[in-house]
Structure 1
């Protein structure tokens, strides 16, 4: 069985520690590509925001394309749960952002398109074609562009209300730029008032483009999820005493010892107390142990 991932999530990292998995990490960028420079921008800083929009115009004038990602489609969209409750400012939406572009001096007259999950497959293809060709060099979208989108001309990613996205998702969005030899940039914009956890998440995002480093940071921020079950959320775990972040070496050593013991005594005939403990275990635990 081969499990592959471009963007490791905390539970994946945890399962490589607990499960009988050998890990191969393919580091580095494809030949000819450059790392994406990443910056965190306070939306309340007018100087930074003004420079960001000017930079977007410079990218377009240089033949680049610009993504602008929003957490909502329009004001009626309430499907996204709030990750950050500190700010009272309405979350950015695709519809309002598109309207707002006409008021931004450097971007006036620049063609822009929108792309959301509500668009049909045929419309999506036409929109992406116009974006890639430069007919509409700005694409205002939701996370529908997160995967399966490859536009080498795209050189700038602007993520509005970046505090609403998880680390793995931010990393995946950033991967939509920097897909050629041209230098690219990613701007993670957030309101002035955000929680400490959100601030740490954005700081970690800007500090590295290494997906595994980000997964480790994500693991520390929101835990590993239920590694003894199927729940992906990091908010709940049936681990009572262990922490994957703190006890990774202990867990790996215990697994190695267990493998050696089973290799020498498969039916545990020489370890009667351990065999009895396994026999007394609940069916749920035994199912998980067999599955792993």
Structure 2
């Protein structure tokens, strides 16, 4: 049994032993969410699963069943059946489709500031549209915007649009858009 703080070399040794099958049970924090590939890991129990978001639960669940044996992930909670947390856990338990789960996550957390750093919540730079409800319109608008910018990158032919963009975009938002 390991107690206290572990040094990096100790952690590596434990992971090597777990990967090799010398250790049957690994108790870990969510640090295992990404970057851990142990094909012989087949079961995971997530205690207080209601404390995690949809995408994090999906990432954690993806750590088991990576080898030839199927995986099992148990989401443990004491939240009431009718709670939003239980609905979230039910959604994760109900599908392995990451795209469907991202849609559920977006519906629950909202889009946040799509041109900035606020990733969820009531603050949004969208005034008339909602990402989930209007995805077709948004896709069409994106295609049209790409066509316009390809034909006139500085928007010299559309001075009103250039003025509106200059008023909307501060340096941070402009850099965000330039990243693609």
TM-score, with structure 1 as normaliser: 0.53
CA distance in 2, matches of 1:184, 1:226: 36
Task: Indicate conservation of the 8 Å contact 2:50/2:79, yes or no.
Answer: no
Match of 1:152, SS state, is coil
Instruction: Identify if the C-alpha distance between structure 1 residues 261 and 185 changes in structure 2 by more than 3 Å, giving closer, same or farther.
Output: same
Instruction: Answer yes or no: is 1:288 the counterpart of 2:134.
Output: no
1:119 paired residue number: 6
1:258 paired residue number: 145
Task: Indicate conservation of the 8 Å contact 1:114/1:140, yes or no.
Answer: no
Instruction: Answer yes or no: is 1:180 the counterpart of 2:73.
Output: no
1:165 paired residue number: 52
Q: Which 4+ stretches in 1 moved above 4 angstroms? A: 113-116
Would you tell me which structure has more strand in proportion to its own residues?
1
Task: Extract unaligned runs of 5+ from structure 2.
Answer: none
2:36 to 133, 143, 149: 149
Give the number of equivalent residue pairs. 177
1:273 to 157, 160, 179: 160
CA distance in 2, matches of 1:266, 1:148: 40
Task: Indicate conservation of the 8 Å contact 2:47/2:77, yes or no.
Answer: yes
Task: Please list the CA deviations of residues 53-107 of structure 1 after superposition, one character each: whole Å capped at 9, or x if unmatched.
Answer: xxxxxxxxxxxxxxxxxxxxxxxxxxxxxxxxxxxxxxxxxxxxxxxxxxxxxxx
Instruction: Identify if the C-alpha distance between structure 1 residues 115 and 150 changes in structure 2 by more than 3 Å, giving closer, same or farther.
Output: farther
* C-alpha RMSD over aligned residues: 2.6
**Alpha-carbon deviation of 1:122?**
1.3
2:110 paired residue number: 223
Task: Indicate conservation of the 8 Å contact 1:115/1:140, yes or no.
Answer: no
**Alpha-carbon deviation of 1:120?**
1.7
**Alpha-carbon deviation of 1:235?**
5.1
Larger mean Cα displacement after TM superposition, 226-235 or 214-223: 226-235
Match of 1:180, SS state, is coil
**Alpha-carbon deviation of 1:218?**
0.5
Match of 1:173, SS state, is helix
Task: Indicate conservation of the 8 Å contact 1:178/1:184, yes or no.
Answer: yes
Instruction: Answer yes or no: is 1:249 the counterpart of 2:132.
Output: no
CA distance in 2, matches of 1:115, 1:282: 54
Task: Indicate conservation of the 8 Å contact 1:115/1:124, yes or no.
Answer: no
TM-score, with structure 2 as normaliser: 0.82
Match of 1:250, SS state, is helix
Task: Extract unaligned runs of 5+ from structure 1.
Answer: 1-112
